[in-house]
Structure formats: structure tokens, C-alpha cells
Chains A and B, each alone.
Chain A
């Protein structure tokens, strides 16, 4: 149905009239009100907006965790809206890395094993140790989550997300639970991942300063895009002013 509207070229995501309504009747919440969006390949895109504006909802839909009520979302040339649950699972398995505000590590596995959990099922994973070195945890690979700080746990989560060599990396409030120094280190890692692996990165945040490291900034309000800015003066995460 949507083949003709499919965009060509170096675009990772395209959405057309993406709508999400939670609930029904008078209690219905319109989390997304017709979002049209294009995300070029290999960019870092930061989604800014007040709490409750629908950022996570958008991320979850294009990440294959949730379904739109209406509209289409394309990953490369595949329409996510028409995939079965099983196809969505495979999409996540092969292409998507997620990082959440609350790490969501397996407490029963060490850092190394948490990463291995993903490399065991991925098509073309990177070396586990390399992934952990990338996030600066080369020395703490055999520690359990309970033995690590919040920042370290978040870095394991990033290592776990990138170890499969994802096409896209979704980070929903990745620094939300961290102090500014640790947060900056985590952003640094995300920046490196983008540069070295060429993965498209989408970061959801309500901390406006994060936008300084993005190629592209999308301002979100009330379930719709207010503006899209291309950032010509990218700043390394180390230099971000908080």
C-alpha cells in the first residue's frame, strides 16, 4: 500500500501522519497527532520537548516496541506498521539498540554476560570485549550490576545496545538518572558509537543542552513536531554547557 510513498536514498526513518491515541472516548490521550518525520542515516538526532509531549511514544513506535494508531513508519524500505509481532521482534534483534533511563540490566549476569546475551543472538555482533572497551569498562567486565555505579551500569547498557552493531541506537533519557559528570561521559560514549560504527542515533531528552552534540534537533510539543533544526556547530559532549 505504501510502496509508492517510500522515500529513496540515505534515510533511516520516514514517518507519515503517525498518530497514537491512548484510551478511548473523553479519556483518550492523543500522544502523537500526525507526525511527519525524516531521519537521515548516520546522524545523531536529539528529540527535545517537555515531559508528556510524546517523545518516548514516538521512539517506541519507530523502535518496534509499540504500534501507531494511524499512519506509517518506515525503516529503510520496510513499513513497521504492517509488520507482525514476530517481524518486529526480528527487526529489534537485527537492527535496533535500546538504552533506557533505568538501565534494565539482568542482575543475574555480569557485565560481560549481559553483553553476550545480545551477541549470542545477533547476526553480525562485535567482539564483546571491544564493546565494553568502547564504553570504558574494559576492567570491570566480570562485575555484576549490583557491584557497579549507576553510570557504569548505564555504560554496560550502552555496550549491550551497540554490541550487535545496530543500525539505529535509541536512547530514552539516557542521562536522566545520572549526575552531570557521569551523564557527560555517557554522552561521550554515544557520540563515539555514532562516529565509529556509523549508527543512526536518536536521543530523547528534556535537557536542552544535549542538543549541542546533535546533527539535527527536533523540537516536540503536544504530540507534534514544532521545528527541526540542523546543527552546523556540533560540540563534543565534553564541552557541553549544562
Chain B
């Protein structure tokens, strides 16, 4: 087989352009596979290591005020390995040059020792010294967002009293990868601070001497979390337990999990498409090769080589191309995976990155590409087997078009000969035309789906911040207040309209499904922050019943009319059984709405509110914020434009980058298939084109025959691409949509127009490139040879 191997190498060299292009498609598929699985496993692994190294708790149990001796009781719960009690609470931080106070979470550090659970990573500086109540650690992402460094001073209002602090250390912590202010939905580095300080400083501020208000529990390996939650709730109930929850439900961790889940969805949808395209291209190229080498194949067979030996030759060729592509893809995947994981490391605030590619992803990358190539190659084998030496040695018969003649009668009247040539080629090779159409459509669908999802994010923002929320500023109080507090805001500078609201935390249950969230009480006829239906019409709050956001209804698996249980975690902690009245089209978060006075009645706390939405004259912002700082009940103020910007930033980084890369790669692949279609058609028809030129057809007329086929393929591919893109956009959007945010998947003509336009542009460019080849064809040489 030595001679055949030489032929193999020469063949590869001869078709190096096309082989390279196919290897590249394989490489892109493998690259994505390795890169994405590398990123996913790196993120997983980094998270795991980070959590483990800094002993992140498995269970969080907030409580109003529990004596320290309860920690021993908690530690005795079966399955609990370690327990830590700490004090944490809200504060408002003043930052020089910032017109608005910033909300903060203050977390206690135990004296004289490291925290047993939920450790901190000190990025810079040192820990506060015991007894130094003015020394604090500041969360690194927040410090960076505001340009704060070691030695800078902060003043914070805790529990109504204002105190000054000095930053002695910059810290990161696994529980604060994403930081979200209570009552908000969007993580934002700049608008929520985390500050660690000595426990004694906090005990004084929150009046919790000898007590804690959050217990952290680490479970033994393999222990069940549910019984521990129940036991902890039972123990803490009489101290005002606020419902313990597992790490799985911890907000920062949830955000990270959802991002990883989104990546997983993409990685399972996209690479297979590339592999299928590569298999198809390989099939076309090798099939053409067998056709044009039929005499050689016949000859080799006549020498006594078996069908299998000859077939093996072509399989080797295919596998060589696939392996080359796979090797390239593996190397590129590791490289780009490391690069992207670095990006994610920064976005998610990991202090370090454990980059890891599972060896299995290399194996599956190589295996998938070889299999795809074999699938393409095996179809070709049929042709090799079918060639008997005798047939192969006869001069080639013209391709048989007699079966495509049926079209004739009707077409004849209005089609000239060149058009008939184009049409008959299409009719004669329906499989191949279909393959090309499918390939282009898949590429186009992929890019338009990514574009749709990208613009779906913008729609989510528009709908959330323009349609549903028409306020300018949201004010949150430290605790529930009489409703006259809200109306006092009416007299602050620039305030045009005030709308009070109340939110309480609650666990919602239906059957075995449950969700830890909250209930928002809305005023009748609320105008600033509303619940709307799919047509953006107000949903009036019912006198009995609850309105659920669609995401929440999906989680609980309920629809209008179903009864759900609501365990309120505040006040007298009532357990309500309420019917679901309507489903609201809310895209951010998973809220539940009730009429404000109905909620208050259930809580037995009439006329109580926890915040208000304001409509404000933009000119008056500085004066308003200055005034709000002096209102003691105000815990937080957030400007809608800031929330929106934060959300946009979140969506653009991380997964947004990924989507952009995907759309771009899909575009490149689409161009590759379009160009390949043009090239193949040119290769097959070079001789016919030369004949036409000899007969006196101009280059333009000859090009028509070539490009006509391409035009038909593109014409068929675009509507199919729209359909595929539409379907894929649901899949991708569903993969990314969670109760944290949902992606709108309305049909977006402009994204499909863009993707379709790109396909047409690719076709025109390919046509132009191939037309240049037509000009270069050596008429004489082409006609002299026998094919």
C-alpha cells in the first residue's frame, strides 16, 4: 500500500485549499466543544475550589436575634459538620463625590480568629485588628468601582447612627461573587457594598451583644440538606427565624449557576451543527474526487486491489483531514478557553482561576470529528464499490440528465437554455442542493438566533424599565413604616409623584414545588411600578388572590385558578392559601403581586409600607438625594437608569461575549458553505463553461449558469434559515432564561434581515471570487483533456 499512501499525500496536497477549508470547519466545531467544555469545567472547578478553600456554608439561617448558645444546638443537628454565627445587617454608605448614598451589607468578623465558615480572601492590606472598631475590609469589586484604596475613609449609617471607618484591607469572598441589593434584581458592583468589621463593633451598632442574626452551617459530606433546613428552622423559630435556605438558593451562587447552565445549553447546541456541516462538506469533496478518479480507481481495482483497500484509501484521506482539523481545534480550544475563562474570572470576581480541560472533551472532540468525517466518507464508499474496472475504464459517459427532462414541457416556454441548464442541475442533484441549503440555513439560523437573543436582552430591558417600571427612583425603608412616611416624600425637592409599596419575603409553595421569594403589595391603580399582561395592559390587583410573574408560575407549575401556599417570613408570619388570579408578563425577577391593603390585612399590619416609587424632575436629582440622606427611615435609594445600566453591563459581559463570538463564527461558517457551493459548482462545470466560452458566450453569460445555481440555493436557504433561527432562538433563550431574568423571543425581522443579508452578501462575494476564476480558465487546456 506504499504507492497508495503516496497518492494519498499528493491528493491531500492537490486539494489543500478545500481540505484546509473543511479542516477549518472541523477545527471550529472542535474548538467550540473544547473551549466551552473547558470553560464550563474551569468555572465549575474554580467555584468548587474557591468555595472549599474559603469554607463556604451549605446552609444559611437568618434570624432576628438568637443567643450564641443556640450555635451548639445547631451544631448538634445530625449531618452538620461546622457552625458559625455572625451578625450582618444593612447600612448606607456615603462616598465622597457620590450624590446618592449606597446600600451596603455589613458582615461581622469573629475576634481573635478566622471565621470558621464563609472565609474572606484578602486581596490587599490586612485584617482589622481585634478591638479596632473603626477598621474595615471592603469588597474588592466595589472598591474598584469607586476607586477606593487602603487607608481611605468611609462613613456608614447603621441603625440610624453614623460612624466613620478606615479601609485596612480589600477582600473577596465566595458568597459575594455577585452582589445584589435587597429588593433589587440586578447585580451591580458599584451600587452595593460589602463591608467586614469586628464583631464587637457590630454588636454595639445592632444591639446584638452575645447574639447572632445569621447562622452558617457546613454539612458533612453526603448529608441531606432538607432535614437540616427543617431542624434549623425548628430551633430558630422562637428567636425570629427567617427561614433557612441552602447554598443552592443563595443569590450570588444562583447567578453563577445560571450563567454556567446557559453556557452548557449553548455548548450542547452549537458544536454539533458545525460537525454536521463538516461531514457534509467532506462528503461533497470526496464524492467529487471519486468521480473524477474513476479511471484510476478502475485501474487500481484491475491490478487486484480489493474494494476495501481502495475504499480505505479514501477513508484515510477523510480521516486525515478530520484529524488535522481536530488537532487544530483542540489546540485552539485550549488557547481560547483559557483566554475566555480569564474574562469570566474577572466578570465573576474569582480571585484565582483553575483552568482545566477535561481529557474527555479532547476525546469526544476527536471522536466526533472522525465520526462526522466517516459519515461523509461512508456515503462515498458506495460509489467506490459500484465502480467495476470495466465501467471505470470506459470513457466517461456524459452525466445522465434524461430523468430530469420531465420539467421540460412546462418550463420550455419561458426558459432559455442556460436557465434550463441551471434548473436541470438542481433537479438532478436534489440531495446535494438540499445539503447546501440546509448547511447555509443552519449557519444563518445559528447567527440569527444569537442575534435575536442579543436583541431579546434589549427588549427585556426596554419592557422592564420603560413599560413596566415608569418610576425614576425607588426608595426602600429599613423596616415597615406607616404609609404617611411615603407621603412625606412628596414634599422633597423635584418629586412629582409618589407610589407606596410593600414587599415581604415569603416562601411560595404548590405541591412539591417551592420558591423562596417575596410578595409585592401594589396600590390599587398603581401607575409607576405595575404588573402587566402580555399586551402590556395593567393587571388590576384582585381583592382575593395573587398575581404571579410568568417565571414564578412556571417554577410552581401553576396557572390561574390554582391554589398556592404562601408562608410569609415576617411579622406574625401567617401562612396563606390564595388562588392564583392572573399571570403577569414580567421579565426581570420572579415577583408575586397582591393588593397592598389585602396583604396588610393578612399580616394584620394595616397601613404599612416598605418603600416607594417616585417620579422625579431630573433637574432636581442632586437636591433630592441630598434631602433623602437626611430621612432616617430611608435604607436605600436607587435610580432606575443605574439599574438599567447595570443590567445591560451584566448581559453584555460573560454570556453576551459568548453569544457575540457564536454569531460571528456562525457567520464565517455560513460564508464557508456558500463559497464552497460556488467552488464545487465551478469545479464540476469548468468544462461546460469553457465550451460555452468557445461558442462565443461572454464571461457574464457563462457566469450566469454557475451563479444561477448558487442563487437558487441561497434563495431556498434564506426562508429555511429564518425558520431554523426562530426555533433555535427559543432553545437558546430558554437555556438562558431563569427566574432571575427572562429573554424575550419575539420575532425580530431586523435580525433575520441582517442574517439573510449577510448570506446574500456572502453569495455575492463568493460569486465574484469564482467569477474571477472563470476569467482565468484556460479554454484550450480545459477542452483538450477528457475530464
Residues of A at under 8 Å CB distance from B?
56, 60, 65-66, 86, 89-94, 96, 98, 100, 102, 104-110, 113-114, 116-118, 120-122, 142-147, 150, 153, 160, 177
What is the distance, in angstroms, from A26's C-beta to the closest C-beta of chain B? 22
B contacts with A: majority SS? helix
Residue of B at shortest CB range from A173?
B784
What is the distance, in angstroms, from A186's C-beta to the closest C-beta of chain B? 17
- Which of A66, A86, A147 is close to B698, meaning CB atoms less than 8 Å apart? A86
14 A-B Cβ contacts within 8 A?
A: A66-B780, A86-B698, A89-B693, A104-B691, A106-B421, A106-B691, A109-B420, A113-B417, A113-B420, A117-B418, A117-B692, A118-B695, A145-B398, A177-B395
Residues of A within 8 A of B688 (CB): 104, 106-107
Query: Is the Cβ of B698 less than 8 Å from the Cβ of A89?
Result: yes
CA distance A110 to B695 in the complex (A): 17
Chain B 410-447 interface 0/1 with A at a Cβ cutoff of 8 Å (1 = within):
00000011101100110010000000000000000000
Is B397's beta carbon under 8 Å from chain A?
yes
Chain B 677-714 interface 0/1 with A at a Cβ cutoff of 8 Å (1 = within):
00000000001101111111111010000000000000
Is B154's beta carbon under 8 Å from chain A?
no
Query: Is the Cβ of A56 less than 8 Å from the Cβ of B417?
Result: no
Give 5 nearest A-B pairs by CB, closest first: A93-B696, A146-B400, A107-B398, A145-B398, A92-B696
Residues of B within 8 A of A107 (CB): 398-401, 688
Query: Is the Cβ of A144 less than 8 Å from the Cβ of B779?
Result: no
Number of interface residues of B (CB under 8 A): 35
Residue of B at shortest CB range from A118?
B695
Which B111-158 residues have C-beta < 8 A from chain A?
none
Query: Is the Cβ of A146 less than 8 Å from the Cβ of B694?
Result: no
Query: Is the Cβ of A121 less than 8 Å from the Cβ of B697?
Result: yes
Residue of B at shortest CB range from A145?
B398
CA distance A130 to B432 in the complex (A): 38
- Which of B416, B418, B695 is close to A98, meaning CB atoms less than 8 Å apart? B695
CA distance A142 to B408 in the complex (A): 10
Chain B 748-787 interface 0/1 with A at a Cβ cutoff of 8 Å (1 = within):
0000000000000000000000000000000110011010
Residues of A within 8 A of B693 (CB): 89
Query: Is the Cβ of B694 less than 8 Å from the Cβ of A98?
Result: yes
Residues of A within 8 A of B402 (CB): 143-144, 146-147
Query: Is the Cβ of A121 less than 8 Å from the Cβ of B694?
Result: no
Given A106-B688, A108-B428, answer yes or no on A146-B698 (Cβ-Cβ < 8 Å): no
CA distance A160 to B694 in the complex (A): 12
Chain B 178-216 interface 0/1 with A at a Cβ cutoff of 8 Å (1 = within):
000000000000000000000000000000000000000
- Which of A91, A92, A104, A177 is close to B687, meaning CB atoms less than 8 Å apart? A104
- Which of A86, A96, A108, A142 is close to B404, meaning CB atoms less than 8 Å apart? A108
Query: Is the Cβ of B780 less than 8 Å from the Cβ of A108?
Result: no
Given contacts A108-B420, A109-B401, 12 further A-B contacts (CB under 8 A): A56-B784, A60-B780, A65-B694, A100-B783, A106-B688, A108-B399, A108-B425, A109-B424, A117-B695, A120-B417, A146-B402, A147-B400
CA distance A177 to B400 in the complex (A): 20
CA distance A93 to B694 in the complex (A): 8
CA distance A91 to B780 in the complex (A): 16
- Which of B421, B690, B699, B786 is close to A108, meaning CB atoms less than 8 Å apart? B421
Query: Is the Cβ of A93 less than 8 Å from the Cβ of B697?
Result: yes
Query: Is the Cβ of B696 less than 8 Å from the Cβ of A144?
Result: no
Which one of B694, B696, B780 has the greatest number of beta carbons of chain A within 10 Å?
B696
Is B632's beta carbon under 8 Å from chain A?
no
What is the distance, in angstroms, from A150's C-beta to the closest C-beta of chain B? 8
Given A106-B691, A109-B417, A116-B417, answer yes or no on A146-B780 (Cβ-Cβ < 8 Å): no
What is the distance, in angstroms, from A163's C-beta to the closest C-beta of chain B? 10
CA distance A65 to B691 in the complex (A): 11
